[in-house]
Structure 1
């Protein structure tokens, strides 16, 4: 039988699922992510324009920094997932990651020049890499396996609500005091600090893998995980190679339509609002029709987004369409991927499995950002987007071929004794 780390349906201990409701742990982690994303998106929404217009970076230099922003977290994602699995209580690994990202916000104030800004961005992304898999393992551990898509969708909806608020706060600050980037960095630190406090004080430190480690089944877990994740990892990496970073897409729109720099943060709002509205419906749809199907379809929306972004004509309608399609893409992929992976691996390797998939994505997106920056410098923004659109159009059918049987895979079976008994594995 499939063994989970929930209490029996109908109980409500340790923040676990009650019947088929989303657990309190998911809601608390969503609140932490909401506050953290207000903080991070305040910075992210001004960073592309700040780096290119204020600091004066070239497209190649910005592509390198965007690649770091996308990919450096890969250096510690697997370490974070493994540390959470090995210790069996991943909360404190997540705390370390959230804390590092919070400190990077205030470090932006004195940062001057390419090297200093690179160091700050690297610290932020390392923190993100460290926290993501342990956090997602906590979500999976407190949720019903049949509704993982919905659980991750609810978390991502709360996360994205913060991501939509962040650019609005940045816009308000810049509207009140034009060019006041220091105020953006300072206020973002305050939001991040509150998020860390909520995680430390209120989120239960649920057990995830202690039982598996104690009974010596980790080798079996590792072998099963590697075999079942091979095709999903290849597909995720392939699609990541042809995914253009948000900042580049927004700079492409700004380059075409030449709207005021003040309104640049609002582009992030448009995408995040669409993501917010669709995260839960997409998660529920993925639970019903298949997570692989929804993830591949999301990349179809990204393809349409590229084609509209590269169109020679501009205007408000076209810009809004690009932002909405980008939101559809994130709603169909960001929470769906860990939900897909969580089903394919045993509970004892859940954090490591999710981290492996996310690492593949961020590494491939690092390569994508650097490549796109070079291509932009040579051909211009619109042509670069069209080249990536062609590559994505070719990659989607191959990704579907790799993933076509994943939804039919049965959940991993682990002996009941290899998983901590829910009655003795309470919170600490």
Structure 2
């Protein structure tokens, strides 16, 4: 599909920066569950605790980072700081000798993500015309996903070349991370018209984005979308459990990261076309379809019996991401004031993070006590509930 004219330079730079950073991150994350279980002796409940705590931390930070970017009227410095922190802590993974080390490294990595995500997503909307917003989010997500599938692919290749030396792969992941920070620092431009907002009648005092007076300007459609995202993510546990399921069904350890390659190939191929489609046909129906596809995929993981089934489910999971991730961001950006965009996206990520910790703990506990089928079945149920809620209240959200 041809990329429409008008996609600004910032979106391309943010996309390629995300691509490099995701190569770095996924070289580590695609092997991390196996490293925790096989090398450090952690159980699935510990994996769930580490993943859930890390993601929840990132989401709490996002609300403050997004609000700060609104308050200052500046996004670039925060997003570069966030990418830089995530790169700085990556050597801790290679040096880890206990699960506590991994938790510390994941904590630092996710704090970095928390600092960068809301300002980055707000910057996409700040610099893109509304009629191209779905396409812009889709393009950035597609480039991000290319990095996310190249990372596991590179990790698998290095594992095979280096005889399964996990720590060597973790050290190599530092290189694309550094390149991402350099590119973003040099290439991102702050929009010329992005100035901080002043409170009416308050002289030169800046608007406080987290003040109740400001939050009241976020309308009911936004808060409804927030509730739907929270409900969905209560069943959206860490992708680490997908990788553990793949190994459980007999996929060789060096090939397990290829599951994320398949996921992100499908994600990269679908995110941009879906974004363009959402600009033309509306976003709500596509988001409902993404939730329902997730429910079917998790039901499939619950009953899967052989490796070939898992590869197909990984591809469908990537399609779910293409149908939902960028579309939800564009839907939120459409419905909030520009000077509160960072705050609104920060609250969205906070809702996701609040859900991810109990979701991952629940998934790990169910797996440990009742088997993997229970973990995926509960995720499917939550996704159906979120899809039904969004469909019932679609007039309140409003079609784009």
Instruction: Place the TM-score, normalised by the shorter chain, in its bin.
Output: over 0.9
Q: 1:313 to 1:228 in 2, by over 3 A?
A: closer
Looking at structure 1, the residues matched to 218 and 232 of structure 2 have their Cα atoms a distance apart, in angstroms, of: 21
Q: Is 1:264 the counterpart of 2:279 in the alignment? A: no
* Counterpart for residue 296 of structure 1: 288
* Counterpart for residue 243 of structure 1: 236
Q: Is 1:273 the counterpart of 2:258 in the alignment? A: no
Looking at structure 2, the residues matched to 148 and 141 of structure 1 have their Cα atoms a distance apart, in angstroms, of: 10
Aligned-residue offset at 1:180:
1.4
Q: Is 1:183 the counterpart of 2:175 in the alignment? A: no
Query: Number of residue pairs matched?
Result: 390
Are 1:150 and 1:287, in contact at CA under 8 Å, matched by a contact in 2? Answer: yes
Aligned-residue offset at 1:20:
4.6
* Counterpart for residue 307 of structure 1: 299
Are 2:95 and 2:167, in contact at CA under 8 Å, matched by a contact in 1? Answer: no
Q: 1:208 to 1:140 in 2, by over 3 A?
A: farther
Looking at structure 2, the residues matched to 124 and 208 of structure 1 have their Cα atoms a distance apart, in angstroms, of: 32
* Counterpart for residue 376 of structure 2: 385
Structure 2: segments with no counterpart, 5+ residues: none
Looking at structure 2, the residues matched to 294 and 191 of structure 1 have their Cα atoms a distance apart, in angstroms, of: 33
* Counterpart for residue 182 of structure 2: 197
User: How do residues 343-422 of structure 1 correspond to structure 2 at under 5 angstroms?
Assistant: 343-408=334-399
User: How do residues 7-22 of structure 1 correspond to structure 2 at under 5 angstroms?
Assistant: 20-22=5-7
Q: Is 1:165 the counterpart of 2:157 in the alignment? A: no
Query: Residue deviations 1:295-347, cap 9 Å, x none?
Result: 1210111111112212242132x122211111011111221121111111111
Aligned-residue offset at 1:288:
2.1
Aligned-residue offset at 1:392:
2.9
**Cα-Cα RMSD:** 1.9
In the alignment, which of 17, 39, 50 is matched to residue 54 of structure 1?
39
Looking at structure 1, the residues matched to 64 and 385 of structure 2 have their Cα atoms a distance apart, in angstroms, of: 33
* Counterpart for residue 341 of structure 1: 332
* Counterpart for residue 73 of structure 1: 58
**TM-score in terms of structure 2 length:** 0.93
Aligned-residue offset at 1:214:
6.3
Aligned-residue offset at 1:199:
0.9
Looking at structure 2, the residues matched to 162 and 312 of structure 1 have their Cα atoms a distance apart, in angstroms, of: 28
Are 1:89 and 1:207, in contact at CA under 8 Å, matched by a contact in 2? Answer: no
Are 1:97 and 1:129, in contact at CA under 8 Å, matched by a contact in 2? Answer: yes
User: How do residues 117-128 of structure 1 correspond to structure 2 at under 5 angstroms?
Assistant: 117-128=102-113
Are 1:73 and 1:128, in contact at CA under 8 Å, matched by a contact in 2? Answer: yes
Query: Residue deviations 1:387-428, cap 9 Å, x none?
Result: 33234333421232244432347xxxxxxxxxxxxxxxxxxx
* Counterpart for residue 40 of structure 1: 25
Q: 1:250 to 1:111 in 2, by over 3 A?
A: closer
User: How do residues 103-122 of structure 1 correspond to structure 2 at under 5 angstroms?
Assistant: 103-122=88-107
* Counterpart for residue 284 of structure 1: 276
Aligned-residue offset at 1:367:
1.4
* Counterpart for residue 85 of structure 1: 70
Are 1:209 and 1:347, in contact at CA under 8 Å, matched by a contact in 2? Answer: no
Quick check: 239-248 or 93-102, which moved more? 239-248
Looking at structure 1, the residues matched to 289 and 395 of structure 2 have their Cα atoms a distance apart, in angstroms, of: 12
